[in-house]
Every structure is written in C-alpha cells, then in structure tokens.
Amino acid sequence: MDSGDADATLGPVVAGIPMFNEEETIGTVVLSSKQHVDTVICVDDGSSDASWRIAQRCGATVQHHRANRGYGAALRTLFKSAREHDARALVILDSDGQHEADEIPSVIQPILDGEADVVIGSRFLPDSNRSEMPRYRRLGVSLINKASNLSSNLAVQDTQSGFRAFSAKALDLLAFDHEGMESTLEVLDQCEEKGLRVREVPISVRYDVPKSSTYSAFGHGFTVLSYALVSLSQKKPLLVFGVPGVGLLASGTAIGMRMLNSVEVLTDGTISLSVGPGLTAAWLGMLGVSLCFTGLVLQGARSLMRSIVMRRIEQI
C-alpha cells in the first residue's frame, strides 16, 4: 500500500499471516500482501523448516512461538502485534496460498469505510470464486455453520473462512481464550456479545495449492463442531436440553400407554403385564423430565446473569 494514499494519523493497515511449515508458499504470500498493506506480520507457530527466514527476507516482521500452539494462539499474537502498531485494520489470510492477496482491498474496504468491524471473506456468497471444494469439507463446513448460526443471530455463511479483517475497535474488544481452531467461532460469539458489526464479502479460494491445510479435516471438524455445540448449549439451553427432553418424555408416555393397553386379566384372576416396555417407559420419562428441568434451570440462570450484566453496564 502506498503510504501516500493513506492518512498516517489513522494508523497502518496490517496483514497478519499465521504460518506453520509453509516454506513453499510463504514468500509468495508475503510479497503479494505487501502490495496492499503497510506492514506484514507473520507468526511462526513452531515451524521446523525455513518458513520464518523466508518471510523475514521477503520483508515481513516475524513473531515466534517456540512450539506449535495452534491457530487461536497465532491470532492472539497477531492481535497483540497489530495493537502495538496502532493498526486501523488487520487483515488475516492463510500462508498456504489458498487466498488471493489481490483481494485484500475488497476485504478491508468495509472497515476503512466505517461500515463494519469484522469482515469475513466468504466462499459461499453468489459472487465467490473457488476451485472445486472436496465434498467432505463442504459437508463439514455446512454442519459447523448451522450449529454456529443456531446459537447466534449473525447468519454467517462461512464461519470457517481464514480470510478476515478486523477494525481497531475489534482489535481492542476481541480476545481469545482458545488456542485451537475453535477460535474461528469464538470470534463470532464475541462479535454478537459486544455488538460488533459483521459483514461478509465474496472471495476466491484455491484448493490446488501444495498444502491446502495444516489441520486434518476430521480433527478440525470435530474440534470446531464440539465448540459450536457447547456454545449452543450455553446460549440456548431450552433448545439443547428442553426439546430432546420433551421428545423423550413423549416417547416414554407413548410406550407406557401402549403397555397399559396391552394389560390382560387372565381367567384365574392374575394380570398379564409386560415388564420390559414398562421399564423402558419409566427410564425414558425420567430422562425426559431431567433434561427439561436442566434446560429450565440453565435458561433461568442465563437470564438472571444477563440482567445483572445489563444493570452493571447501565450503572457505568
């Protein structure tokens, strides 16, 4: 980015690149990114190859992690470095060459125009351009998107995109408690809680790069989906516990009624009763009641905590 085109008083635009053993592609990514930003910062997350040396020689500032700590830890370091640079915008992109650095201006523009605090480069918008995404990856992302959007009102179409931009306000307000890939959803949770404006823009993505991901699809999907489900249970306990509870209670009641209808009184005065269905009905009913009660208690506790927080905010 030409420093003459930007108002220096607003702070630099920074590109942040997490990297782990990406010596084949990191040089190209850094050089391409430098054309659109003021500063490039790479976080070497415990690489064992020459990634950090190549990035440094190409003009990037390199931060080091002695061991591989994870994507969230790399983002935490990038946010800290961007704040130290008084950045007005931080754009994150992958180091494997999947993202087109020439699209950095379109990703950061809503932030520079004051229209958004967080911008997500989406692979699933109508104008997005991507090479053929593997079916298993598309299915995994779709499941994660649905689970994440159930717990929020953001309706993000690509919750797993690694091409994102953050305003100075977002840099100050967002924090990362998780060091793994679940940080991709943690950011969205905090955006809703802290009233940050989120916008998606179409991007291009390549899947024919040497290493399209340093994380296994199964490991990534399991970690992020688990976080999404836990987050959903915390935000909407009636949905997670109450709905299954009602279903189990209804099933137990139906089995119990069927069992009672099958009771016969024999000629000798004894009663023919099937014990198995009765026990099944009792267990399902008890489990259903327990889940419903859990959902109600958690929903009440969540409402109480939110009211306390809102009162404290009003007092401030």
How much is the pLDDT for 292?
86
pLDDT tens, residue by residue, 129-184: 766 777 777 777 787 777 777 767 788 888 888 999 999 999 999 988 887 777 78
Superfamily name with CATH number, domain 3-234 = Spore Coat Polysaccharide Biosynthesis Protein SpsA; Chain A (3.90.550.10)
How much is the pLDDT for 288?
86
How much is the pLDDT for 148?
72
Query: Which residues 6+ apart lie within 8 Å of 129 measured at CB?
Result: 202, 203, 204, 205
How much is the pLDDT for 4?
43
Give the CA angle between residues 196, 190, 99 to the nearest 5°: 80
Exposure class string for 207-243: b at 16+ Cβ within 10 A, else e: eebeebebeeeeebbebbbebbbebbbebbbbebbbe
How much is the pLDDT for 215?
53
Beta strands in 87-189 (DSSP E): 89-92, 118-122, 129-130, 164-167
Low-confidence ranges of the chain (pLDDT < 50): 3-6, 8, 214
How much is the pLDDT for 195?
86
Burial class (CB in 10 A: 0-12, 13-18, 19+), 276: exposed
pTM equals 0.71
Query: Which residues 6+ apart lie within 8 Å of 216 measured at CB?
Result: none
Q: Domain segments of the chain: what residues?
A: 3-234, 237-315
CA atoms 229, 73, 70, 55: torsion sign? positive
